[in-house]
Amino acid sequence: MEKFIITKSKDETVALGEALASTLAGGDVILLKGDLGAGKTTFVSGVGKALGAESNVISPTFNIMKCYFKGRIPLYHIDAYRLENQNIELGLDEFIEGDGACFIEWPDFIAPLLPAERLTLSIHNLGGDNRQLSFSAEGEHYEKEIMKMEEIYGTRK
């Protein structure tokens, strides 16, 4: 199952992240794909805002992972870019399908740690502030989340 949504500004991508946030449950795994500057971290910032994270979500690139515990459920934000397949002893598996929602940028670098069931968001820069966000679900659980997200995003003010 795959759904495409185009956003025309950073704020719209944040709003879409907020819409997804309200559908999320502990243990969820969301993979984020797309070039540098596509909008992956921007999307997660909307998720953090709606969950009620204690601070703004910023790129975890230099930390590998950032955790936000104060929201409705914990938010784990991994950026595997600098790991390049040398991850295995870090214990990231504790956070993937753990008690919170786990968002992973550059997931291909930690492929062995990823569950078969997951939601994948691929973002393409269409030029200017336009982005195409493509959501694909592996598993019925994530299909439902995508459908709920669309509904909530469609009825936003």
Q: Order across the sheet with 2-7: list the strands.
A: 2-7, 130-138, 118-127, 29-33, 101-105, 75-79, 65-68
- Ranked by CB distance to ligand ADP, the top (closest) residue is 39
Q: 139 in the Ramachandran plot: left (φ > 0), alpha (ψ -120 to 50) or beta?
A: left
In 45-129, the DSSP E strands lie at 65-68, 75-79, 101-105, 118-127
When CB distances are held under 5 to 8 angstroms depending on the partner's kind, the choice from Mg ion, ligand ADP, none that residue 38 binds is ligand ADP
Piece of 1-9, 12-20, 34-42, 126-134 that binds Mg ion (CB under 5 A) = 34-42
When CB distances are held under 5 to 8 angstroms depending on the partner's kind, the choice from Mg ion, ligand ADP, none that residue 36 binds is ligand ADP
| Residues 70-109 close enough to bind ligand ADP by CB under 6 A | none
Is 60 one of the binding residues for ligand ADP (CB under 6 A)?
no
Question: Which stretches of the chain bind Mg ion, using CB under 5 A?
Answer: 40-41, 59
